[in-house]
């Protein structure tokens, strides 16, 4: 494929692998303290998207500190509450490496001297003054987070659920808990990837008949996992439930 303007190849990068070689191995990350994040990997392959070069960094052990600006800190500005930040590892051609937080999941502001980078995860800033990061544990592409309520209502109907407090924009799959309480009659509580779809559906169902099923007021809980087809959004619907709660406990991202 060529560009008609300059007759030059248009090059795109698949940063998940290089000719079948994974760009990371045994990648882990977690909140080390309320203000710091650890990033570790057996190796990472970083990319220079300007010069189209790569470089392998072995035995990565880095800490991002909210009190630091630039390398091993925030790329620019100050932290904002209730906001997700991208976890990056950046590198120099001499082998120097550092962690970096950025609002951008595609183009962080890289400190002078650093030319290579790789997205490695995400951290949620809960509050500021002081900065507090949400607790999480990451293994490769999966991130488990402190249980985050995204819906809690005693007047359930149906509609979209904003899960931006639980997952970043790059999240592709979400997992969590669905709670429903029987209000009367046959009960169904559903969460799905999109409204009106049967894809990625999880349901609580109960038949309210004497001697069979559950009585009015009984609460049930199930786990769910489903693709996110609309950014930071899932959907729910109910029949005869008088309480519904949804909590997110994990998500998956492409790296």
DSSP 128-191: TTTTEEPPEEEETTEEEEEEEEEEEESS--EEEEE-TTTS-TTEEEEEEEEEEEE-SSSEEEEE
Residue ranges and CATH numbers for the domains of the chain are 17-140 (2.80.20), 143-253 (2.60.120.260)
Question: What are 219-254's pLDDT values in tens digits?
Answer: 778 888 999 999 999 999 888 888 899 999 999 999
Comparing 237 with 25, the larger pLDDT belongs to: 25
pTM across the whole model: 0.86
Report the range of poorest mean pLDDT among 69-73, 194-198, 209-213, 247-251.
209-213
Q: What percent of the chain has pLDDT over 70?
A: 82
CA distance 210 to 138: 46
53-65 vs 142-153, strand pairing mode: unpaired
The CA R_g of the chain, rounded to the nearest whole Å, is 22
């Amino acid at each position: 494929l060529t560009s008609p303007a300059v007759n030059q190849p248009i090059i795109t990068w698949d940063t998940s692998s290089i000719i079948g070689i994974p760009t990371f191995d045994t990648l882990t990350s977690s909140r080390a303290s309320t203000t710091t994040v650890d990033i570790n990997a057996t190796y990472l392959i970083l990319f220079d998207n300007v010069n189209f070069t790569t470089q392998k960094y072995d035995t990565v052990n880095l800490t991002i500190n909210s009190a630091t600006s630039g390398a091993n800190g925030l790329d620019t500005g100050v932290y904002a509450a209730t906001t997700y930040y991208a976890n990056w590892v950046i590198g120099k051609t001499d082998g120097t490496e550092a962690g970096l937080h950025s609002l951008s999941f595609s183009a962080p502001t890289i400190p002078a001297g650093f030319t290579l980078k790789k997205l490695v995860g995400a951290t949620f800033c809960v509050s500021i003054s002081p900065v507090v990061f949400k607790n999480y544990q990451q293994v490769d592409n999966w991130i488990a987070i402190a249980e985050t309520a995204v819906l809690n209502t005693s007047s359930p109907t149906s509609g979209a659920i904003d899960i931006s407090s639980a997952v970043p924009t790059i999240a592709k799959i979400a997992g969590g808990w669905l709670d429903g309480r029987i209000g009367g009659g046959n009960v169904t509580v559903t969460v799905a990837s999109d409204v009106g779809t049967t894809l990625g559906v999880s349901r609580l169902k109960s038949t309210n008949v004497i001697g069979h099923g559950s009585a009015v007021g009984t609460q049930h809980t199930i786990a769910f996992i489903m693709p996110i087809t609309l950014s930071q959004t899932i959907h729910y619907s109910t029949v005869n439930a008088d309480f519904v709660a949804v909590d997110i406990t994990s998500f998956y991202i492409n790296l």
